[in-house]
């Protein structure tokens, strides 16, 4: 079956399509119904079937390839490297699950994981899956305020963390951030389980904090059976930024997710058991869930967990890993490639990359220059793909495992099976034709693997993502797009106030709320501005309560540094604005709405368009003026 035939079947007869794809995983009990869309827009897949993510990722491979590599943990930060076979991974995950059991964790309990990119983080995720617990991974190093909001929302029984992560050889203490977050949070977890890497001092709180290594030693021969879960029971919660200050907990199921990953690993990523997969992301993001931990292991591949920079000890580190472990498939982000593009080409050329068959890039738009450069340097296929935390796997790509279709520069590809992609005119609600700009939407039902709901808030899920057009439920991606006559899509940017910094989604509202906590800030607007390296960066425009505090250039620089420090403490360095500009007035409509798109256009040197609704046109000149004055 070619791409067009399979895609049409997935849209017109999803039951038949996904029943066949479901054969790629193990089922403890068969499902009685492939698809239940009776409570649209909420979807249930493989109803009645029982399975388990840990079993499909680890246990089922032990009999056939138990001594083959499964998890390869590499840290250039600590100069450590360890390979775990499938049998060894099973043993470590079982020990971790036994530790969690002794701490009272069972089916349905939430476990928050706040960890660096070390093997124990993967053990913890898989142990939760084994027990039927729901994990919520928070990016290691996230600031206390952001971490506290996630603790309050998920209400975990257990938090798993570490003394510190490391970046560029500099330890990043996690424990003080975690302690402060628990102090700020209303919900207090019963236990904190800690992996001590001896990178930073760590004070244990009596009666709450326990050492992982000490508990692990008591469970070396542990046997923890798989907890079989009905396909639609939740597997994890992953928080993503939104247009409001409160993060959204994307809730994922078990069976649909396992099937979607197994399908995509073969159809999109062409992975084969025994090969090695290297995704350079982090487990704090959705790529780390889908294509570092679960996806490659479900496909029977060895997966690499890497802690470190792409340029240290030198810019050849990734390629030395590709050579050493014979990496077949690699997944990264355009930002990383742009960083490497600044380095001498010899860092790539000195290694034998003959095992590498393709490089997949996602997280932000891939420009033609970057794509062409890395394709020429590696001499392999460069395959773009577009998706979201909410979907869990690619919406758009080229599924070379189905049909060897050509890629097109600037396009992430065509719609993947199961995703009924439509472009709608924002004004009229009519479906767009070829080469007409519209909002990219997905007509329900969403395919397996996509979000079930916003954790604990079905109403917010519907109000945020879903609307009805022409009688059908449609999910909004909040991205502009164009489709050419051959069905290839081109993503043009966001329709809402979420910006994409080096693949990290950040809500401008969150950053604005953080900046507003500075005592001298009266009002603030944050916009995403195009950046050649990171895709976008946040830029803030601030009205001060006391403008005299920024009367000189030195005072402005000092105040800018103070405000950036507030964001660092509240949200973490990833959300820090690239610049903070001080201004007397912000452009608004007569109804008081901030004109962020106009500010963004001026920052990027574009025409702000029709400004007939603006209250004071002079405010746009103020924006231009501060940009010119400060450079």
SS3 readout for 330-360: EEECHHHHHHHHCCCCHHHHCCCCCCCCEEE
The residues of the chain scoring below 50 in pLDDT are 243, 591, 612-613
Map out the domains of the chain as residue ranges.
Answer: 420-494, 498-630
Q: Per residue in 576-620, pLDDT tens?
A: 999 999 998 888 755 455 778 788 889 988 877 655 446 677 788
CATH number, span 420-494:
2.30.38.10
The HSE-up count of residue 106 (CA atoms within 13 Å, CB side) is 2
Beta-sheet pairing, 535-544 with 579-582: parallel
Q: What is the pLDDT of residue 608?
A: 78
The architecture of the domain spanning 498-630 is 2-Layer Sandwich (3.30)
Query: Which pair of structure tokens corresponds to residue 30?
Result: 């068969």
Cis before 41? omega within 30:
yes
Angle at 111 between CA 122 and CA 331, to 5 degrees: 35
Q: What is the pLDDT of residue 34?
A: 98
Q: What is the pLDDT of residue 256?
A: 98
Q: What is the pLDDT of residue 174?
A: 96
Q: Per residue in 40-70, pLDDT tens?
A: 999 999 999 999 999 999 999 999 999 999 9
State the Cα–Cα distance between residues 360 and 290, nearest whole angstrom: 14
Contacts (Cβ under 8 Å, ≥6 apart) of 577: 511, 515, 526, 537, 538, 539, 540, 563, 564, 567
| Count, residues in the chain | 631
* Nearest by Cα to 629 from 560, 582, 561, 584: 582
State the Cα–Cα distance between residues 601 and 525, nearest whole angstrom: 14
Q: What is the pLDDT of residue 247?
A: 81
Q: Is 63 exposed, middle or buried (0-12, 13-18, 19+ CB in 10 A)?
A: exposed
Q: What is the pLDDT of residue 631?
A: 62
Q: What is the pLDDT of residue 612?
A: 46
Residue whose token pair is 């970057």: 370
């Amino acid at each position: 079956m070619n791409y067009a035939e399979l895609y049409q079947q997935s849209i017109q007869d999803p039951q038949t399509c996904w029943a066949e794809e479901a054969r790629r995983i193990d089922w403890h009990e068969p499902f009685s119904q492939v698809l239940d869309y009776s409570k649209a827009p909420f979807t249930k897949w493989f109803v009645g079937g029982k399975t388990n993510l840990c079993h499909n990722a680890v246990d089922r491979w032990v009999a056939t390839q138990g001594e083959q590599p499964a998890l390869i943990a590499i840290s250039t930060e600590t100069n450590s490297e360890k390979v775990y076979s499938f049998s060894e991974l099973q043993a470590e995950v079982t020990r971790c699950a036994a530790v969690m059991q002794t701490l009272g964790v069972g089916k349905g309990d939430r476990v928050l994981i706040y960890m660096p990119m070390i093997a124990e983080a993967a053990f913890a995720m898989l142990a939760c899956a084994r027990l039927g617990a729901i994990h919520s991974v928070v990016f290691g190093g996230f600031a206390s305020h952001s971490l506290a909001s996630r603790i309050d929302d998920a209400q975990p029984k257990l938090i798993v963390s570490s003394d510190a992560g490391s970046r560029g050889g500099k330890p990043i203490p996690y424990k003080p951030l975690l302690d402060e977050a628990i102090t700020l949070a209303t919900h207090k977890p019963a236990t904190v389980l800690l992996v001590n890497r001896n990178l930073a001092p760590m004070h244990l709180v009596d009666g709450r904090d326990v050492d992982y290594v000490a508990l692990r030693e008591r469970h070396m021969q542990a046997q923890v059976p798989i907890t079989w879960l009905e396909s639609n029971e939740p597997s994890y919660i992953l928080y993503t930024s939104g247009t409001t200050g409160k993060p959204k907990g994307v809730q994922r199921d078990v069976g649909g997710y396992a099937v979607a990953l197994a399908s995509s690993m073969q159809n999109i990523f062409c992975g084969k058991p025994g090969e090695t997969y290297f995704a350079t992301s982090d487990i704090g993001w959705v790529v780390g869930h889908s294509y570092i931990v679960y996806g490659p292991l479900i496909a029977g591949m060895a997966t690499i967990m890497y802690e470190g920079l792409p340029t240290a000890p030198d810019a050849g580190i990734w390629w030395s890993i590709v050579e050493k472990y014979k990496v077949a498939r690699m997944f990264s982000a355009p930002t990383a490639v742009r960083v490497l593009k600044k380095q001498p080409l010899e860092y790539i050329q000195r290694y034998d990359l003959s095992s590498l068959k393709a490089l997949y890039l996602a997280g932000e738009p891939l420009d033609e220059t970057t794509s062409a450069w890395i394709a020429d340097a590696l001499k392999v296929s460069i395959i773009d793909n577009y998706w979201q935390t909410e979907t869990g796997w690619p919406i758009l790509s080229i599924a070379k495992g189905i049909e060897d279709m050509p890629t097109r520069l600037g396009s992430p590809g065509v719609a993947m099976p199961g995703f009924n992609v439509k472009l709608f005119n924002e004004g009229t609600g009519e479906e767009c034709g070829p080469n007409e700009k519209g909002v990219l939407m997905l007509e329900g039902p969403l395919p397996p693997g996509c979000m079930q709901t916003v954790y604990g808030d079905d109403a917010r899920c519907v109000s945020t993502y879903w609307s009805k057009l022409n009688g059908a439920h449609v999910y909004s991606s909040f991205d502009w797009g164009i489709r050419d006559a051959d069905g290839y899509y081109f993503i043009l940017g966001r329709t809402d106030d979420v910006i994409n910094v080096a693949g990290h989604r950040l809500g401008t509202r969150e950053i604005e709320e953080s900046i507003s906590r500075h005592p001298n800030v009266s009002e603030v607007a944050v916009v995403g501005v195009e950046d050649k390296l990171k895709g976008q960066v946040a830029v803030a425009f601030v009205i001060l309560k006391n403008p005299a505090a920024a009367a000189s250039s030195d005072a402005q620089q000092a105040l800018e540094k103070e405000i950036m420090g507030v964001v660092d403490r509240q949200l973490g360095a990833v959300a820090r604005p690239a610049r903070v500009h001080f201004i007397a007035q912000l452009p608004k409509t007569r109804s008081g709405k901030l004109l962020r798109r106009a500010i963004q256009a001026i920052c990027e040197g574009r025409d702000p368009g029709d400004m007939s609704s603006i209250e004071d046109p002079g405010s746009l000149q103020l924006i231009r003026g501060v940009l010119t004055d400060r450079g």
